[in-house]
Amino acid sequence: MSTAACTRWGLEGMIPAAPDGTIRLGGLALRDHWFDVPLEHAGPDGEAIRLYAREVVAVDKLRDSLPWLLFLQGGPGGKSPRPDGASGWIGRAVKDYRVLLLDQRGTGLSSPLTARTVVRRGDPAAQADYLAHFRADAIVADAEHVRRALLGPDGRWSVLGQSFGGFCALTYLSFAPEGLAAAYLTGGLGPLEASAEQVYGATYEHARAKNAAFHAAFPDDRERLEAVAAHLRSNDVRLPDGSPLSVRRLQTLGMALGARSGVPSLHYLLEEAFVHGPAGPELSDTFLHGVHANLSFAANPMYAVLHEPCYAQQAATRWAAERTRPADFDPDVSPLLFTGEMIYPWMFEDDPALVPLRDAAELLAQRDDWPALYDRAALEGNDVPAAAALYTDDMYVDADLADQTAAAVRGLRVWKTNAYEHDGLRETDDVLDRLIAMVKGEL
């Protein structure tokens, strides 16, 4: 695109791409990278998949020799950020690093994992075997392949892991620490040995507390929520994709309560729940479209399929969130409680995007031969400089379990704070700034 075209389309911050494909945008220089990696790293001569990664560097440091920082996004199933300028944590990172935003296998521009691509694998058993190759251990093996391709066999880079990306960083420290110069974890001190049942036992408690805080902040929403639930119990309500909106699906809107930006959004959604239709009060199109946008897994079925397997190590999860669901979270109980970051088997019946994966998801839930995701002995002997932000009010990652993990990683420096929710890294550049200072020994 020419400079004149950039101006005509209102892209004054964008400079035409360089001959090598580099794009300049908002003070950043962006360049694409593609890699072919084995689907199964234990069988490197078998099927290959493609990985996409975006190199990001400050324009004024484009030609500088900078250390690399690999970013691992949350999820599972989350693609890397698409930056539009040198702001937030990316703006802070490019002061010190050349950043690589990796679309983890199955996400973004990497070989996609969707219901349609998975169903092509064959019967449910074949689908489940394929899906099992998308956990943290495979992501770390991918990262090592990319590191060697970009930096050479002896090059080392740092890693920043957000949420599930932090789980991946712990796996990296467990099995390939020789590739790391430093590790930063935000909201991602995953449980090393706790079972899925223990994880959900803790996170239901957090969801209960977040419900109380939400209704204390927006007291009128208690009545609104109960009115919506009563309406759903008495009427067949359909979302824009034709799927049913039940009370149990309504409850899962509570996933938003774990992010500071999600809390007001949920309030505003409930605020517009009803309109007066021909036969009386009915749920508004605005509300139903907003609910659908929040609940559909069409854009990320991997999250639903592999969420519980994130906690599976040599044991089956057997739908732990469903089995450990406390009685006060029952959809027929009043006052109604929102749930949190839980996946339930009935979602694979109610969400059209997940229905094709129902049988494969069931096989994954019953699978009991998962390989270990962490090596406790390696973590206890860790010598990679590392720092972590531990959010004490985190709805998704229990602080007590995170504390246990932190204590097991030799040399890990931990910043405990209630100043941010789980999405603190997205809120501000202060989180990463502090972690970098901690690794440098400045704090």
Q: Give me the active site residues, please.
A: 163, 369, 422
Cα separation, 273 vs 242, whole angstroms: 18
Q: What are phi and psi of 303, to 5 degrees?
A: -60, -45
Residue 244's H or E segment, with its range, is none
Q: Which residues contact 103 (CB under 8 A, 6 or more apart)?
A: 51, 52, 53, 54, 79, 80, 109, 110
Contact 384, 180 (CB under 8 A): yes
Cα separation, 159 vs 99, whole angstroms: 9
Contact 187, 231 (CB under 8 A): no
Q: Is 410 helix (H, G, I), strand (E, B) or coil?
A: coil
- Chain position carrying tokens 């204590």: 407
Name the nearest CA neighbour of 256 among 341, 330, 348, 335.
341
Contact 259, 421 (CB under 8 A): yes
Name the nearest CA neighbour of 307 among 161, 426, 136.
136
- Chain position carrying tokens 């090393």: 192
Q: Where are the alpha helices (DSSP H) in 71-111?
A: 88-93
Cα separation, 69 vs 97, whole angstroms: 6
Name the nearest CA neighbour of 346 among 230, 238, 246.
246
User: Residue 76: is the preceding peptide bond cis (ω within 30°)?
Assistant: yes
Cα separation, 379 vs 407, whole angstroms: 10
User: Residue 240: is the preceding peptide bond cis (ω within 30°)?
Assistant: no
Q: Which residues contact 299 (CB under 8 A, 6 or more apart)?
A: none
- What region does 152 belong to: left with phi over 0, alpha with psi -120 to 50, or beta? left
